[in-house]
Amino acid sequence: MNNKEAIVLLDFKGNVNSTKLDARSRHFTYGKRLQEQTLEKPLKLIVVSRGGESRSDFSDLVDFYDINCSRIHFVKFIVSGIRVIRRRGYSTKVIVCGDPWESFLLGKIFQILLRVKSKLQLQVHADISDINWRNSSFRNWVRSNFHRYAFNHCDQVRVVSKTLQNYVGSISTNTNIVVIPVPIVVPDNLTKDVSESSELLKIGFFGRLQKDRGTDDLIKIAMNLNSYRQDFELYIAGKGSEENYLRKNLTQTIGERRINFLGQLKQSEVWKKLAQLDIYLSLAPSESYGLGIREAIISGVPVLAVHSNGALEAQSQFGIETVKFIDSAISGDSLSKILDDVLAKGYVRISSQEIRQQNLSLIDDLVDAWIDLARSSVNSTSLD
């Protein structure tokens, strides 16, 4: 019988592939903690991702595999993933699925082909409880009619917010639903940058540049504010299908000199740029956890946001002064008054040490959930 045991994370969306260095670093931390917690009977973290090229990166703590395949080539992902798990000779105790749709189906197929009685954990990051999410595309509408089945046919659901926990509990019979937000790795030297004096307000919009993130509303808000005052500039970080559309329309609206496209930033650069902002905009109508919102608040930057569950929960955690809610159709006059009011109250001050302690707790919670599932699985067998 094979004594080598593993937690296998299926990352078909490619969120942890070799180009996502920050995500890889976070999962490396998970792997390290997993081994520290299972010294007597070690568990290895294996991450199988969809990437731009096929490659492997082995270490004592985590095995990373990138499989070069398109979004429609499930078969290649399955065959290659099964092959690398067999070659490493591990008995799969838990399969972690990054979403309750494609990854769930892949997880079920992996269970069958590996011939193991492993446990299945589904992870939910999107705010699937929000009707705005369900109505944002036909694909999401289809997904909303499928994930109920997935929740009823897995061993555990890991969600990132209490709102999601309540939603999953309301549409399924699964009672093993754990709330474990994404840990935020805060740099040791994080401070609000007040050294750069500028006559222009620095307003940031960070994240995926796609319609579902509020790019149309960004253009509308910039136009309305610009009609009332021109003492601001935009800092836009991220990549996406709407980048060229944004660049064209914002240039026509406020002029090229007050628009700064920063591209895709590394996490260390994100913290540096956040600390230089005066205001952070969150315009996604559907936000489950609001990682960007929280990073801005931790950086000392007040947030203006449209209503979303993620923004509401961030405000509840960090305080009412940290997030100010606005309507996407707000007039330039009203927005100007809100900006003056928010800035007059000074920068947000959050204890980074407290956040670091919370992060350690979240890492332990996630690793403990995997360990509990692994220890509850029985009669797992390897294909070697």
- Dist CA 181 CA 52 (whole Å): 28
This prediction has a pTM of 0.83
Tell the CATH topology of 5-185+359-376: Rossmann fold (3.40.50)
- pLDDT-based confidence at 33, cuts 50/70/90? very high
Amino acid at 160: V
pLDDT at 380: 43
% pLDDT > 90, the chain: 58
- pLDDT-based confidence at 344, cuts 50/70/90? confident
Radius of gyration of the chain (CA): 22
**HSE-up of residue 278 (Cα within 13 Å, Cβ side):** 21
Residues 167-190 pLDDT 10s: 999 999 999 999 999 888 787 777
- Dist CA 95 CA 307 (whole Å): 35
pLDDT at 40: 85
Residues 83-96 pLDDT 10s: 988 888 889 999 99
- Contact call for residues 56 and 65 (beta carbons, < 8 A): yes
Question: Which residue, 264, 261, 296, is CA-closest to 278?
Answer: 296
pLDDT at 198: 66
Give the Cβ contact number of residue 157 at 10 Å: 26
- Dist CA 308 CA 315 (whole Å): 11
Whether 201-346 and 5-185+359-376 are alike in CATH topology: the answer is yes
- Contact call for residues 308 and 283 (beta carbons, < 8 A): no
Per domain, the residue ranges of the chain are: 5-185+359-376, 201-346
Tell the CATH topology of 201-346: Rossmann fold (3.40.50)
pLDDT at 134: 86
**HSE-up of residue 227 (Cα within 13 Å, Cβ side):** 11
pLDDT at 1: 47
CA dist 231 → 199, 226, 234, 345 (Å):
7, 8, 11, 19
Residue that is written with structure tokens 């499928």 in the block: 146
How would you classify the pairing of strands 5-11 and 91-97? Answer: parallel
